Amino acid sequence: EDMTEVSLSIDFARISRRSSGAVVITMPDGTCCVPLPQVIPDYRGDLAVAMDLGSASEITIQKKLWERRVRQWLGKRKKQDGEEDNKPEKRKKFRFKAREWIIATHNVFVRQTGASLGWLLYKISDEQTQDFSAPRWPHCKVACDMGADNVSALCFLIYGVKANVTIAPDPSHGAKNDLQAALRKSSLLPQVGMMSIVFNIAFASWDQGVRFHEGREAVEEWLKDPWTDELLRAYLPDLLADRGELDRLNSEGCESYVEEVLQNAACWWRRGSKYSQARFMSLIFKLREFLPDWTACFLGLLRFGLSTGQLNRSSFKELCQKRGSLLLGEPGEANGGNGQDLGLRAEGKAATQRLRNVCQSNLQLAIFMLSDPDVKWRQILIRDFASPLADWHTYCSKTLRSAEGNMRWLKEQCHKHYLQHMADIMGKIQDQGILEGVGLLFEKSMAMIGDPSMADVVQAIQDEMAQLAGVFAVSLVAARAERGIPMMRGWPSRFVFFTNDDDLFELTMNQFRADAENFQKLSKVTSTSARNMARRSVFQHRAVQQVKIMCEANNWAPSKVLLERMQQRFRTHTNSQMNEDIFQRMRAQEDRSGNKMSALINQWHRLLAKRVPSTVHHYTEVDEQGIVVERNAAPMPLVLARGKVASVPPELLSVCSFSQKPDWFTTNSEGLWALTADLEITQEAVDRGEDWSILDHVWVASLFDGARVMIRRSEAGAGSDWFFVLGSVGSRAVLAWEAQELYLETGDMELINFYKPKPVSGEHSPFHLLVVVNLDEWVAVSYEWKSPLAVMAMQGPWVEKAYFPGIVAFAPSAPMTALKALASEAFFEAPICLLKRLMGKIGAELDDEADSNSLYDILYCLCGKILGLEGDALLDVLRKRLVQKYIDVGSFLEVTSAMDVLSEDDRRQMEQEQQRQREKASHNEKYRESYHRSRERCRQERVAAEPGQPPLVRAPQGRDEAKVRRIANRIKERKDEILLQSDAKKLLPDPNLVHIWRDRNRCRWCVHFEPYRRYSRPFSDGGELESYWKILRDTWKLFLREKGLADSDCWVPGLMDGE
């Protein structure tokens, strides 16, 4: 048959404990077929099946096969002088999974199309590139996920075999990975893992549905007379706020509406399906379903735990101290704080032990999570900011089910739609209601009544929310931009614009011609960096060379032959949505049959292949070479679904070897996306007068990963546009988003500058790919996300004024060179390897006693040299790297037995994340120890130099020691324990950094010490007045420790002595 234009959609998944590959072939005439699922040999799957069947002989066989494979990987090396025996040397075969991928897909070609050459059918020799046969080259498009084995195999075909293969853009396949990457960067992923346990609270591996039915019975009993429950009345505002009906509070008909809500709460009456993070966008869809019933689910679980006795006295007391004494009805006995970590190890261990007792089961963990309003707001944040991504993914999944809409969809995505869904995410930052309805009712009520004494508290809490929202939005857009940049800018994705003779055709042709000419200039440069860039360039792809030859033959003008060839190329269907449908039906069949034997997959494959192409995707069905399997028939021969190595040409098997670095270029998925950045870098070098030396310095772009800065060119001037830095693509170029500057007039007639991301306007794209090779050529400024309340406060007094809706970025410092801006923030999250490279670039050298592998010593050297600081001033900069505004993960690290309700994949993912967080905590602890040693050394040097020097921490102006003592005594003498907010604030070490307030709703004192997370002391810890003194003492200890000062530097008399 005609094989000139063939499309392949490939995906692999573990079905029935075996690695099965679903491959869909689309022929040039539009017909589509689904070959047998390709089974990849896998030791773990074979052994698991043998153990399930209880076959001792088969287990022995599988173990022997595995032992033989291991011995094949071990070789003998020659005996060296002085050695007594030849020791085996481990030899690893690299790209072994890519080899299996090649074998499986080659088997599909041979058995389905009859083309015995398989992939070699699309091999184009160098001689063929010199003749005029380019329009007749056979071409194959491949759509697959960007796993390591897939990317390695495709790189082998493109760069090694020189096959005319195009990697079709399929960005929807990585949407889930991008969301997880954004959650990890904003430290929300551990909390999402804990919420997975809450979502599956109705499931348990040890009691099936018993817990769900018992819980429903307890709720039914409670709902017979719910208004006698004091808890329901206490949580009534939260219950109404979940559904956006807070206006109904205290109105007529409120009770009947609440009863109706409770009677229809889905979390009690429908068990539903088990939640798993493996499904695409499952987190967003689950949050949309669960958040309206958040408080209802909490109350039901609480009543269920109390009725069944699963909440023991000690754990329930800790839960009540977390929420406040309202749940107990009376204050409990004191055990300390609520698990806060103030950097004090003794208290941290005690809090960890208490938390371990609280999280003994998933029920207690679920109540613990649902009782925290901060957790609830963060889930609202995830739902709101990731909803544009989920909606876009749903749109793509529906559109790609039709072959007719494939080319139109790709053109829309390249031109506008992909960019638009990123703009929608950034636009959420300006949403006026993004900080509304977060469940923090007491903060909102204080903002409504305009209590001046609580202004700084409300502002600090809302700024913390705004910072988290801004970081999550930028991280999500950065991940989406990096994945989609080949489609928005690179080749061969933009060849879809060659399918119609319109304005886009001419613009694309000019851009393609410029990139081709730049590649010709690059290929003549002999430097190592230039040769490496030319070696991996997209113009080494036969698919790009084919179009280039046709364009050159027509003198870079629109051609009828080119239009017809491009229309033929993009006419066939290529996406991985069909593969996902196949896997879904495989899993459904497996669940219904309950059979774990992989060979039985082939029994019902014929019915599956007929269902997917004809009904779901509207394709013409193709007979599978006469092989027909009836229902309940014997299994197909496994040889049809497993390729033979002997039938694969040796040239294709050479992908796997003992050499880690092959002769052909290979990379990971990020490296493929970075090929587009190479085009921009080449253009920058040409614009600089063919200055190819800049290729050796493009790595500095990787310093901007995780950096919260805005940049602009130095020569652009003060009136030019700023760019929000999103990150870098392949450590070669900076991803940036245009910033819109806003001005706010204060009461003193001064202007304050704020910034927000620009929206998409017409054909203008706010997204840019910037080539940064010299940090001195760029001006940068760090920024912080501020809430509307903070903008109001900057205008003057705490009064109602017009302010910008949503969240805005505020730059507290003046612009400086990009290098100094990064150094002033301790280079944000730059790893040691990049910092070492930067040290060599600027000529910085470590001291003799410094450790070359210590992050602290390297930053001490770099920041000191760049900023010209030393002593306490330098340590204030290094402290920024130590203290990040991350969410506490102590709860996440203690979750063990509660993970039993999760699927195997979700549990493994949580355990990996726990290990990652432990390693991160270990690195931070080493950094902290070095930092505190430096602080203590500076303090001792300062005292030795000036013995009579007054303490650096002084009482506020006009407040001498006698006045401070009078304030402290006045607080102590209050017998009724009613402490005024104004008096409580007067003893803080620094009112600009530390905020304290009384939370009467949860009966506790709260402190926010920027940039640490908030912590609290419950009133049950010795009473309201005693808990105030304890939390004030803890705050002073942390403040003095971070400043490198002694307890004697505290200006509150007797506080550190326990008086």
Rounded to an integer, what distance in angstroms lies between the CA atom of residue 245 and that of residue 965? 49
SS3 377: helix
At residue 885, the pLDDT reads 53
Closest Cα to residue 789, out of 995, 979, 1012? Answer: 995
Q: Which pair of tokens denotes residue 585?
A: 């039906």
Rounded to an integer, what distance in angstroms lies between the CA atom of residue 1036 and that of residue 989? 7
Whether 724 and 711 have beta carbons less than 8 Å apart is answered as: no
Q: How many Å is the maximal CA-CA distance in the chain? A: 99
At residue 586, the pLDDT reads 62
- Other CB atoms within a 10 A radius of the CB of residue 505 amount to 17
At residue 647, the pLDDT reads 78
Rounded to an integer, what distance in angstroms lies between the CA atom of residue 184 and that of residue 722? 27
CA 826 remoteness from chain centre: 23
pTM: 0.84
Rounded to an integer, what distance in angstroms lies between the CA atom of residue 434 and that of residue 382? 11
* Bridging pattern class, strands 38-40 and 18-26: antiparallel
Rounded to an integer, what distance in angstroms lies between the CA atom of residue 727 and that of residue 596? 44
In sequence order, the 6+-apart residues with CB closer than 8 A to the CB of 591 are none
3-state SS record for 781-816 = EECEEECHHHHHHHHCCCCCCCCCCCCEEECCCCCE
Instruction: Give the Å distances, CA to CA, from 882 to 27, 308, 366, 886, 890.
Output: 57, 45, 31, 11, 17
Determine the straight-line distance between the first and last CA of the chain, rounded to whole angstroms.
93
Q: Which pair of tokens denotes residue 29?
A: 């005439």
- Other CB atoms within a 10 A radius of the CB of residue 453 amount to 15
At residue 2, the pLDDT reads 62
Closest Cα to residue 832, out of 861, 850, 854? Answer: 854
DSSP secondary structure of 534-589: HHH-GGGSHHHHHHHHHHHHTTTS--HHHHHHHHHHTTS---SHHHHHHHHHHHHH
Closest Cα to residue 715, out of 766, 774, 783? Answer: 774
At residue 1058, the pLDDT reads 63
Whether 161 and 123 have beta carbons less than 8 Å apart is answered as: yes
Strand order in the sheet with 994-999: 994-999, 1004-1009, 1015-1018
For residue 585, the one-letter residue type is R
Say if residue 185 is exposed, middle or buried (CB neighbours under 10 Å; 0-12, 13-18, 19+). buried
Strands (E), 234-371: none
Q: Does residue 169 have a cis bond before it (omega within 30 degrees)? A: no
In sequence order, the 6+-apart residues with CB closer than 8 A to the CB of 374 are 440
* Bridging pattern class, strands 139-144 and 5-15: parallel
In sequence order, the 6+-apart residues with CB closer than 8 A to the CB of 466 are 435, 785, 786, 787, 790, 807
Closest Cα to residue 351, out of 1038, 1026, 988, 1017? Answer: 1017
DSSP state of 86: P
Closest Cα to residue 279, out of 587, 37, 616, 44? Answer: 587
Rounded to an integer, what distance in angstroms lies between the CA atom of residue 910 and that of residue 189? 9
DSSP state of 777: G
The residue behind tokens 């995906």 is 11
Closest Cα to residue 323, out of 1040, 1016, 954, 1009? Answer: 1016
3-state SS record for 588-600 = HHHHHHCCCCHHH
At residue 951, the pLDDT reads 52
The residue behind tokens 């070359």 is 852
The residue behind tokens 């305009």 is 450
Rounded to an integer, what distance in angstroms lies between the CA atom of residue 1001 and that of residue 322? 12
SS3 278: coil
Q: Which pair of tokens denotes residue 299?
A: 């109350």
Whether 751 and 744 have beta carbons less than 8 Å apart is answered as: yes
Rounded to an integer, what distance in angstroms lies between the CA atom of residue 547 and that of residue 554? 11
Rounded to an integer, what distance in angstroms lies between the CA atom of residue 617 and that of residue 1014? 52
Q: Which pair of tokens denotes residue 56?
A: 């001792």
* Bridging pattern class, strands 18-26 and 32-33: antiparallel
- Other CB atoms within a 10 A radius of the CB of residue 891 amount to 21
Phi and psi at residue 1013, to the nearest 5°: -75, 165
Rounded to an integer, what distance in angstroms lies between the CA atom of residue 795 and that of residue 746? 4
- For residue 455, how many C-alpha atoms fall within 13 Å in the half-sphere facing its CB? 17
Q: Which pair of tokens denotes residue 424?
A: 């929608």
DSSP secondary structure of 33-47: E--PPEEEP-HHHHH
SS3 32: strand
Rounded to an integer, what distance in angstroms lies between the CA atom of residue 2 and that of residue 174? 32
Rounded to an integer, what distance in angstroms lies between the CA atom of residue 974 and that of residue 976? 6
The residue behind tokens 């010199």 is 130
At residue 771, the pLDDT reads 94
DSSP state of 311: S
Whether 461 and 440 have beta carbons less than 8 Å apart is answered as: yes
Rounded to an integer, what distance in angstroms lies between the CA atom of residue 656 and that of residue 156? 10
DSSP state of 223: T
* Bridging pattern class, strands 139-144 and 165-167: parallel
Q: Write out residues in the chain with pLDDT < 50, as ranges.
A: 43-45, 52, 75-78, 205-207, 322-359, 437-449, 594-608, 616-641, 798-799, 957-958, 975-976
> Cα angle at 912 between 173 and 897, to 5 degrees?
115
Q: Which pair of tokens denotes residue 901?
A: 């309700």
Whether 165 and 122 have beta carbons less than 8 Å apart is answered as: yes
Q: Which pair of tokens denotes residue 463?
A: 């700024």
Closest Cα to residue 243, out of 253, 228, 229, 257? Answer: 257
SS3 214: helix
